[in-house]
């Protein structure tokens, strides 16, 4: 039996972006929520509600201590670190610390990534060997897509 849209529960998420991109309008993230692309493909067949969008607060992440609490009060069940945290140069050196802190202190699932990696960033990081370790590849796994999809997010 198929669930009707009326009975379907929304997954409520929050997004934390790198402070370097504080002026980002969020277009790629919002597009990928709608398309269920990149890290949002895990929500295929579900409705997603964005309950908050903020920055980390700048290195070394001063907002990480407080923003998840507000996101959780707004109903967030999952926090996504924006793709910019892994495709910006250099990638955020605090991602693992932030993830562990939020999951431990706030009991929220944290996923690294939002929209698919744009092809232009993918090519730059390939040339620089940024993601040449198993740990780095694990971080980008949710947003590493096929070239055609990466091109559509350029």
For the chain, which residues make up each domain, given as ranges? Answer: 10-152
- What is the structure's pLDDT at 20? 95
- What is the structure's pLDDT at 5? 54
Distance between CA atoms of residues 108 and 91, nearest Å = 23
Strand partners, 52: 14
Find the mean pLDDT for residues 87-110: 96
**Structure tokens belonging to residue 96:** 């693992």
**Structure tokens belonging to residue 40:** 């949002």
**Tokens 């999809």 found at:** 149
pLDDT class for 40, splitting at 50, 70, 90? very high
Instruction: Provide the phi-psi class of 35: left if phi over 0, else alpha when psi is between -120 and 50, else beta.
Output: alpha
CATH number of 10-152: 3.40.50
pLDDT at residue 85 above 80?
A: yes
């Amino acid at each position: 039996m198929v669930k009707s849209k009326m009975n379907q529960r929304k997954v409520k998420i929050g997004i934390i972006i790198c402070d370097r991109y504080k002026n980002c309008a969020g277009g790629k993230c919002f597009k990928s929520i709608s398309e269920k692309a990149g890290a949002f493909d895990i929500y295929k067949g579900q409705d997603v509600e964005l309950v908050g969008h903020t920055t980390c607060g700048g290195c070394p992440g001063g907002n990480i201590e407080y923003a998840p609490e507000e996101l959780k009060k707004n109903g967030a069940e999952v926090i996504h670190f924006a793709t910019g945290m892994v495709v910006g140069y250099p990638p955020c050196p605090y991602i693992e610390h932030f993830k562990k802190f939020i999951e431990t202190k706030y009991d929220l699932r944290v996923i690294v990534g939002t929209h698919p990696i744009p092809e232009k960033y993918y090519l730059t990081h390939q040339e620089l060997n940024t993601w040449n370790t198993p740990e780095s590849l694990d971080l980008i796994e949710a947003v590493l897509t096929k070239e055609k999809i990466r091109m559509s997010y350029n």
